A = this chain, B = another copy of it.
Amino acid sequence: MVSTLRDVALAAGVSPATASRALSHPELVAPARRAAVEQAAHALGYRPNRAARELSSGRTGHLCLVVPDVANPFFASLVKGVQARARELGYGVFVADADDDPRLEAELVAQLGAQADGTILASPRMSDDAVAHLSADRPFVLVNRRHEAHASVVVDNTDGMRQAVRHLHALGHRRIGYVGGPAGSWSDARRRDGLEVAAHGLHRLDVVDLGHFPSSRGGGTAAADVVVASGVTAVLAHNDLVALALMDRLRSRGVRIPEEISVVGHDDTVAVLGSPRLTTIAVPLARLGRAAVDRLLDDEPGPDTPLPVELVVRASTAPAPAGGTADAYDDELELEGHRA
C-alpha cells in the first residue's frame, strides 16, 4: 500500500505536524527528529500526495505551457527547455497544444492555467488585445513577445537581423530581400526594426521588404516568386521552414543556391536538414524555455534582457554573383526599400 504522512509520523514517533515540517521546512525541526522522519519516509517509500498538499496549501506543483503547435520544431524545443527546468525545480508541466487556434489558446490558458501555479504562453498570433485580457491573477509569462500587461522572455530579434545583414553585406550583397512573417507578429516587427538599423549602418545597401507571408512551407513557396521578381541577390526568411521551401521553389525555377541567390533562415530548427545546409540565425530555444520558467517563478521580475541569438553560417550563403544584379536594379523596382 501507499503510505501517508501519518504512517511516517507513526514510524518516526512524532506527530503528523512535525513530520510534515521535517519534510517541507526542515529548518524548523530539531536535527534528531528530522533525521528520524527522513529515515522513516525513505523506509516507507513515502510520496507526498500532491492533491492533498494542493488542497491545503493552494500550490499545485504544476506549471502550464500553452503553444500553438507542438509539432512545430520551434515550440517543441521550447517545450523541452521548459520541461527540463521545471523538473529541476520539482514541477510537472501540463503541455497544451492549441492547434494553431488563438481562441483555443485563450481557453486553454484559462482552463489549464487554473490548475497550475503559473502559465507560460507562446502565442505569436494572438492579438494584443486578447493577450491583454488573459488571467493576470496567477503568475504568467509570455514567450518571445512583449506586452505591457505581462512578464515575458524574448530573444534579440533585432540583433539577429543585424548579424545576418552584416554577413551578407560583407559577402558583397547590396540588395537584400526580407520575407516577413505574418502581419501582427511581434518578433517580425522587431526584425524589421533590426533591418532598418542594419541598413542605415552599411554602405550602399538596399533592404527590400518583400511582404508578409505565412510562417509555413506554403509561405516560402509563395515568397520565392516574389524574391525572383525583386531582383535581390540574398534573402532573409522568417524561419527555417519558410527558407527551406523557398529554396525548393527557387531551385525548381532554375535559380542556383547559393551561387545566384543566398538564403538565410531563422531559429536553427531544421536548417541542417536543407540542401544546401541553411545559414541561419540560431535562437536558443531551450534556454528561452528555461528562462520562462525562472521568470515565472521569480518573485522579483528582474530586468528581462533579451537572450542573444547567433548567426550560424552554412552553405546557403555565398559571395554575391559577380556583376551582381544589385547595381542594375538600383534605381528601379524598389519595393519599400530602406536605403543606407
Contacts and interface: CB of A to CB of B under 8 A. Distances in A.
Interface of A: 47, 49-52, 54-55, 60, 62, 69-73, 76-77, 79-80, 83-84, 87, 92-97, 99, 112, 114-115, 217, 241, 244, 247-248, 251, 270, 272-275
Contacts of A71: 73, 76-77, 79-80
Contact of A84 (B60, B99, B270): B99
B55 A84 contact: no
Given A95-B95, A112-B92, A73 B70 contact: no
Contact of A79 (B51, B55, B97): B97
A5 to B, nearest CB: 13
A145 to B, nearest CB: 21
Given A49-B55, A93-B94, A274-B275, A70 B60 contact: no
Copies of this chain, complex-wide, total: 2
A2 to B, nearest CB: 8
Given A49-B55, A51-B54, A54-B51, A96 B80 contact: no
B270 A273 contact: yes
A95 B241 CA distance: 25
A95 B51 CA distance: 18
8 contacts: A51-B51, A51-B52, A69-B80, A87-B96, A92-B94, A94-B94, A217-B272, A251-B275
B47 A51 contact: no
Contact of A92 (B115, B217, B247): B115
B83 A70 contact: yes
Contacts of A55: 49, 51-52, 55
Contact of A83 (B80, B96, B115): B96
Shortest 6 CB-CB distances between A and B: which pairs?
Answer: A51-B54, A95-B95, A76-B76, A275-B275, A51-B55, A83-B97
